[in-house]
C-alpha cells in the first residue's frame, strides 16, 4: 500500500473518530452540562498520566525495535512481560492512594479507574506494536472503533439516566472490544522473554518514556492543573475547545504516524538522504488543515461553540489559542519523530524534558494569573519553544530544507478562504444554519486553491488516488 494512501486511511479513520467524538461530546454537553463533562474529562486526564507511568516508555521502545529487522517475537514477549509487571505496580499504587485520588476527582471511582487503566495500557501496547509492524492502516482504525463504540454506549447510557457512571461503562466496554480486535492482527512469535531483550528495551525506554510524557503534557497537563484552580464546568468548556482544535491537527499526526516506521527502517540502513526527503514532505503537510482551521475559527468559532450550548461560547478565545498551540506542535512532532527514527532518543529526551518543565511552570503561573486562558497560552508557548529546539537539533544530524514556499501557499489559500467566508457572513448573518454550509464552502475554496497553485499538493493527490497505480 502506498505511503500516501496509508496516510489517507489514517486521516479517514481520525475523521470518523472525530465525528463520533463530536456526537458524543455534543450529547453529553447538552444533556449533562459542562460540570459532568468536566468531571469525566478530569478522570480521563488523570488516567492518561497514570498510563504514561504504567507504560514507562516500553511501547515506544518496542515500536522502534519491531520496526527494525529481525527478532520481532522476542521483543514482543519481553516487552509484554515487562509491561505487565509495571502495570501491577501502578494498580497497587492506585489502591494505596485511593483517598487522595478520589478526593481530587470529587467522585468514588477506584474500581472503574483500575479497569480503565488496564484497558488503556493494553490499548497503547497493541497500537504501538501494530505501528512497529507497519500495520498503520489497521491500527489507525482502532481509535475510531473505540470512540464509536464508546460514544454509542455512552449516549444510550445517558438516555436511561446513568450520567457519569454510564460514561465510565462506555469507556470500559469499548476498551475491551478494541483491545481484542487489535490483538487479533498482531503477528506474534511465541518466544520466551530474555534478559538481553528486556535490558535493550529498558535502555531505549529510559529516554523514550519522556517523549510519552511530552505527549501527555501537551494534551492533559493543562487540564490536570486546571483541576486545582477552576470549577469543573470550565474544564468541560476547555475540553470542547481542545477537541475542536485537535480536529484540525489530525492530518499532521497521521503523517507522523505513517512515516515513522519507514524513516526508522531507512535510518537503520544508513539512507539519510531519503530520510531528509521524507522529513520535508512531512513538514509540507503538517499545517495543511490547521491554517484554514485557525482562520475559520477566528471568523465563526463562537457560532460553532454554541452548538454545544450557550455556556460554551465563552471558550472562543481559548479555542483560537489552542489552534495556534496545535499548529506549533504539529511541526514539533515531525521534528522529534524524525529524531527518534534516527535512533537518537537522548536528543528527544533533552528537548522533551525542557518542554515538560516549561509547560508545568507556565501552566501554574499563567493559570493563577489569567485563569483558564492562561492554560492555553502556556501550552502554545511551550509548544513553540519545543518546535524551535527540535528543529535546531534535527538540522545538526541530517540535511533537509524547511518548505517555506509550500506553507506560504497554504497561508495564502486560507486567507482567501477567510475573506470569502467573512464577506458571506456579513451579508447572511452569523447564524448556525448559515455558518455550517459556509464552513463546507470554505473548505472547497481552500483545497481548490491549493490544488490550483501547488504542484506538490496536486501531485500528491494524483499519486495517491486508488486508480493511480
Mean pLDDT of 299-306: 92
How many C-alpha atoms does 281 have within 13 Å on its Cβ side? 20
pLDDT computed for residue 467 by the predictor:
44
Least confident of 123-127, 208-212, 240-244, 275-279: 208-212
For residue 416, CA distances in Å to 289, 409, 420, 450 come to 14, 11, 6, 11
pLDDT digits 0-9 by tens, 354-376: 888 999 999 999 998 888 899 99
pLDDT digits 0-9 by tens, 33-76: 888 988 998 999 899 888 887 777 777 787 777 776 444 557 77
**Are the beta carbons of 185 and 169 closer than 8 angstroms?**
no
Higher pLDDT, 134 or 6: 134
Mean pLDDT of 445-453: 92
Mean pLDDT of 72-98: 85
Mean pLDDT of 97-126: 92
Mean pLDDT, the chain, rounded, equals 84
Mean pLDDT of 242-271: 76
pLDDT digits 0-9 by tens, 334-357: 888 888 778 787 888 888 888 889
Residue 410 has pLDDT above 50, yes or no: yes
Residue 469 has pLDDT above 70, yes or no: no
Distance CA 263, CA 152 (A): 37
Mean pLDDT of 116-121: 94
Residues counted in the chain: 469
pLDDT computed for residue 70 by the predictor:
47
Distance CA 152, CA 140 (A): 19
For residue 352, CA distances in Å to 45, 217, 380, 387, 436 come to 19, 10, 15, 10, 39
Residue 300 has pLDDT above 90, yes or no: yes
Distance CA 129, CA 61 (A): 10
pLDDT computed for residue 69 by the predictor:
47
Mean pLDDT of 287-304: 93
Interacting residues of 271 by C-beta distance below 8 A, sequence separation 6+: none
pLDDT computed for residue 468 by the predictor:
44
Percent of the chain with pLDDT over 70: 89
pLDDT computed for residue 16 by the predictor:
67
Distance CA 214, CA 57 (A): 11
Mean pLDDT of 74-97: 87
**Phi/psi class of residue 195: alpha, beta or left (left: φ > 0; alpha: ψ in -120 to 50)?**
alpha
Higher pLDDT, 190 or 313: 313
Mean pLDDT of 249-277: 74
Mean pLDDT of 282-296: 91
- Residue of 222, 235, 209, 246 whose CA lies nearest to 359: 222
pLDDT class of 276 with cuts at 50, 70, 90: confident
Distance CA 342, CA 393 (A): 12
pLDDT computed for residue 466 by the predictor:
47
Question: Would you state the cell numbers that stand for residue 290, as one nine-digit string?
Answer: 490547521
pLDDT computed for residue 17 by the predictor:
67
Residue 84 has pLDDT above 80, yes or no: yes
How many C-alpha atoms does 104 have within 13 Å on its Cβ side? 20
pLDDT computed for residue 446 by the predictor:
93
Amino acid at each position: 500500500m502506498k505511503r500516501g494512501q496509508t496516510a489517507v486511511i489514517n486521516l479517514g479513520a481520525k475523521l470518523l473518530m472525530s465525528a463520533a467524538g463530536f456526537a458524543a461530546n455534543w450529547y453529553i454537553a447538552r444533556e449533562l452540562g459542562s460540570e459532568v463533562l468536566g468531571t469525566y474529562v478530569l478522570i480521563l486526564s488523570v488516567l492518561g498520566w497514570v498510563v504514561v507511568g504504567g507504560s514507562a516508555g516500553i511501547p515506544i521502545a518496542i515500536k522502534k525495535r519491531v520496526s527494525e529487522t529481525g527478532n520481532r517475537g522476542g521483543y514482543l514477549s519481553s516487552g509484554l512481560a515487562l509491561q505487565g509487571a509495571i502495570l501491577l505496580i501502578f494498580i497497587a499504587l492506585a489502591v494505596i492512594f485511593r483517598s487522595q485520588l478520589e478526593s481530587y476527582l470529587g467522585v468514588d471511582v477506584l474500581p472503574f479507574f483500575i479497569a480503565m487503566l488496564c484497558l488503556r495500557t493494553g490499548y497503547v501496547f497493541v497500537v504501538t506494536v501494530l505501528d512497529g509492524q507497519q500495520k498503520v492502516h489497521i491500527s489507525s482504525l482502532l481509535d475510531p472503533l473505540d470512540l464509536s463504540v464508546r460514544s454509542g454506549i455512552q449516549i444510550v447510557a445517558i438516555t436511561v439516566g446513568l450520567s457519569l457512571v454510564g460514561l465510565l461503562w462506555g469507556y470500559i466496554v469499548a476498551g475491551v472490544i478494541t483491545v481484542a480486535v487489535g490483538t487479533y492482527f498482531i503477528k506474534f512469535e511465541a518466544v520466551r522473554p530474555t534478559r538481553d531483550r528486556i535490558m535493550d528495551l529498558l535502555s531505549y525506554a529510559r529516554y523514550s518514556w519522556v517523549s510519552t510524557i511530552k505527549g501527555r503534557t501537551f494534551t492533559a497537563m493543562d487540564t490536570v492543573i486546571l483541576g486545582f484552580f477552576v470549577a469543573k464546568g470550565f474544564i468541560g468548556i476547555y475540553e470542547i475547545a481542545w477537541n475542536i482544535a485537535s480536529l484540525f491537527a489530525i492530518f499532521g499526526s497521521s503523517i507522523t504516524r505513517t512515516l515513522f516506521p519507514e524513516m526508522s527502517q531507512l535510518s537503520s540502513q544508513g539512507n539519510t538522504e531519503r530520510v531528509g526527503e521524507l522529513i520535508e514532505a512531512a513538514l509540507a503537510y503538517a499545517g495543511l488543515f490547521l491554517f484554514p482551521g485557525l482562520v475559520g475559527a477566528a471568523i465563526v468559532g463562537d457560532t460553532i461553540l454554541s452548538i454545544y450550548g450557550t455556556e460554551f461560547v465563552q471558550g472562543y478565545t481559548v479555542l483560537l489559542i489552542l489552534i495556534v498551540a496545535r499548529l506549533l506542535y504539529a511541526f514539533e512532532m515531525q521534528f522529534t519523530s524524525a529524531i527518534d527514527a534516527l535512533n537518537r532518543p537522548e536528543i528527544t529526551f533533552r528537548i522533551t524534558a525542557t518542554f515538560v518543565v516549561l509547560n508545568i511552570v507556565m501552566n501554574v503561573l499563567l493559570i493563577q494569573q489569567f485563569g483558564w486562558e492562561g492554560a492555553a497560552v502556556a501550552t502554545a508557548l511551550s509548544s513553540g519553544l519545543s518546535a524551535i529546539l527540535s528543529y535546531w537539533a534535527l538540522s545538526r544530524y541530517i540535511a533537509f530544507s524547511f518548505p517555506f514556499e509550500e506553507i506560504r501557499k497554504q497561508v495564502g489559500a486560507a486567507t482567501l478562504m477567510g475573506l470569502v467566508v467573512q464577506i458571506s457572513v456579513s451579508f447572511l448573518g452569523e447564524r448556525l444554519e448559515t455558518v455550517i454550509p459556509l464552513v463546507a464552502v470554505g473548505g472547497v475554496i481552500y483545497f481548490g486553491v491549493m490544488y490550483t497553485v501547488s504542484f506538490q499538493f496536486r501531485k500528491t493527490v494524483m499519486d495517491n488516488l486508488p486508480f493511480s497505480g
